[in-house]
């Protein structure tokens, strides 16, 4: 076991750090305030290869490992939660399932454009009636000659409207399993601009306000037969496996938010004076910071371990669930304490910590709530 980062990982980390400091941090407040998708930043990230980090070179990616990708999301999240989730949803939820389940033709057609950032990806699973109960899908796909016809809607889709390529989960029939009738669920690749595919409401959110969260609407949307992703009826497995990977990305986002809040707070408490000395000299501050730093470090170990597991193991559901559960709860706790240590100023939007606290909350909810992670973890230890 080796806990030190290799020289290439250290250099990649310094790259992500300087990009985040110079290109992302100066815009973070404005992106939050205006709720505008940071298009120019996404273009810059595409140019620097940040949108295809774990994708093999032959598919236009950077040929790095999952740990490098996780470090990128982490460093971006330190300064801007919005920018981090754009990269995460694109890489983990769209490119990854195509790389894992796509045919060679599908990979050749979609991945090079996605990995180079010429196109952006998104993932559509959630519906108004199917959140944690992902089996409750209502969107239908019916084969009509050489085309699938999609009808239904998806909600809360990250990168919605901004993305060009969408992975959509839909019901393709009813099957009998152990005497019970069950929905047959399949996965599809749907391109923006396909007739019958439109966008509904843009969600107004508490945090990650620059990330584009939209409703997707399918009305007799016809896509080619060959856009079925993986085998017919395997859509649920594809979605669950995709989310295992996505959870590592969200765990990295949560970790970054916690680290960013901690760093900001350390700087603040050294400067801020009350009762004639810096507030860093009060033991309450010191103990709070010690707890925050220790939890951040523990979360980091879980997140990096999950990334290493994705690189080397066939399944990493439990590692991913533990990393996401713990990192998200640490992010929530650390950002809340960061606001407290900033006092009244922490509650003012001019200071970064209140944004970090708002951004942190979603990491306990999306890509599987903390309760879902506990279901995955306990299900594994009780089997």
Q: Interface with another protein by CB under 8 A: which residues?
A: 6-8, 11-12, 15, 18-19, 48-50, 53, 57, 61-64, 68, 72
User: Using CA atoms, how far apart are residues 27 and 44, in angstroms rounded to an integer?
Assistant: 13
Taking the least distance from each CB to another protein, the nearer of 16 and 268 is 16
Shortest distance, position 24 Cβ to another protein, whole Å:
12
User: Using CA atoms, how far apart are residues 242 and 245, in angstroms rounded to an integer?
Assistant: 5
Q: Which of 253, 224, 242 is nearest to 134 (CA)?
A: 242
Structure tokens at 241: 């496996």
Buried/exposed code over 55-84 (b: 16+ C-beta within 10 A; e: otherwise): beeebbbbbbbbbbbbbbbbbbbbbbbbbb
User: Using CA atoms, how far apart are residues 241 and 172, in angstroms rounded to an integer?
Assistant: 19
Taking the least distance from each CB to another protein, the nearer of 18 and 201 is 18
Backbone angles phi and psi of 117, in degrees to 5: 85, 5
Taking the least distance from each CB to another protein, the nearer of 65 and 329 is 65
Helix (H, G, I), strand (E, B) or coil at 43: helix
Please tell me which residue in 74, 203, 367, 371 is annotated as part of the active site: 367
Shortest distance, position 137 Cβ to another protein, whole Å:
36
SS3 content of the chain, % helix, strand, coil (to 5): 55, 20, 25
Shortest distance, position 168 Cβ to another protein, whole Å:
29
Radius of gyration of the chain (CA): 21
367 catalytic per annotation: yes
CA 345 to chain centre: 29
Taking the least distance from each CB to another protein, the nearer of 72 and 155 is 72
Whole-angstrom CA distances from 80 to 110, 120, 212, 294 are: 28, 19, 14, 22
Taking the least distance from each CB to another protein, the nearer of 53 and 328 is 53
> What are the residue numbers of the active site?
367
């Amino acid at each position: 076991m080796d806990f030190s980062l290799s020289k290439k990982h250290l250099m990649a980390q310094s790259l992500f750090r300087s990009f985040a400091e110079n290109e992302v941090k100066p815009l973070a407040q404005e992106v939050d305030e205006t709720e505008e998708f940071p298009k120019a930043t996404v273009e810059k990230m595409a140019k620097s290869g940040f949108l295809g980090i774990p994708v093999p070179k032959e598919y236009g990616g950077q040929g790095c490992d999952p740990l490098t990708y996780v470090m990128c999301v982490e460093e971006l999240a330190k300064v801007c939660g919005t920018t981090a989730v754009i990269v995460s949803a694109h890489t983990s939820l769209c490119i990854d399932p195509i790389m894992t389940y796509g045919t060679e033709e599908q990979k050749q057609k979609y991945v090079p454009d996605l990995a180079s950032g010429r196109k952006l990806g998104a993932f559509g699973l959630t519906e108004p009636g199917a959140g944690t109960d992902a089996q409750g899908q209502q969107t239908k796909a019916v084969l009509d000659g050489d085309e699938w016809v999609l009808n239904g809607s998806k909600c809360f889709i990250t990168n919605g409207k901004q993305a060009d390529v969408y992975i959509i989960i839909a019901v393709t029939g009813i099957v009998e399993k152990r005497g019970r009738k069950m929905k047959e669920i399949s996965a599809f690749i749907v391109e923006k601009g396909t007739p019958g595919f439109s966008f509904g409401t843009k969600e107004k959110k508490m945090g990650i306000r620059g990330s584009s969260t939209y409703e997707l609407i399918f009305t007799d949307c016809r896509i080619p037969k060959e856009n079925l992703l993986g085998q017919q009826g395997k859509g649920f497995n594809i979605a669950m496996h995709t989310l295992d990977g996505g959870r590592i990305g969200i765990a990295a986002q949560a970790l970054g938010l916690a680290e960013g809040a901690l760093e900001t707070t350390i700087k603040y408490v050294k400067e801020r004076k009350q009762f004639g000395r810096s507030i860093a000299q009060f033991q309450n501050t010191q103990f709070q910071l010690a707890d925050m730093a220790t939890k951040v470090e523990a979360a980091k170990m879980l997140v990096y371990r999950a990334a290493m597991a994705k690189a080397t193991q066939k399944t990493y559901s439990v590692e991913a669930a533990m990393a996401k559960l713990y990192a998200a709860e640490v992010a929530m706790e650390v950002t809340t304490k960061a606001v407290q240590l900033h006092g009244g100023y922490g509650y003012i939007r001019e200071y970064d910590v209140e944004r970090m606290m708002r951004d942190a909350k979603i990491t306990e909810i999306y890509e599987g709530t903390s309760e879902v992670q506990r279901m995955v973890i306990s299900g594994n230890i009780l089997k």
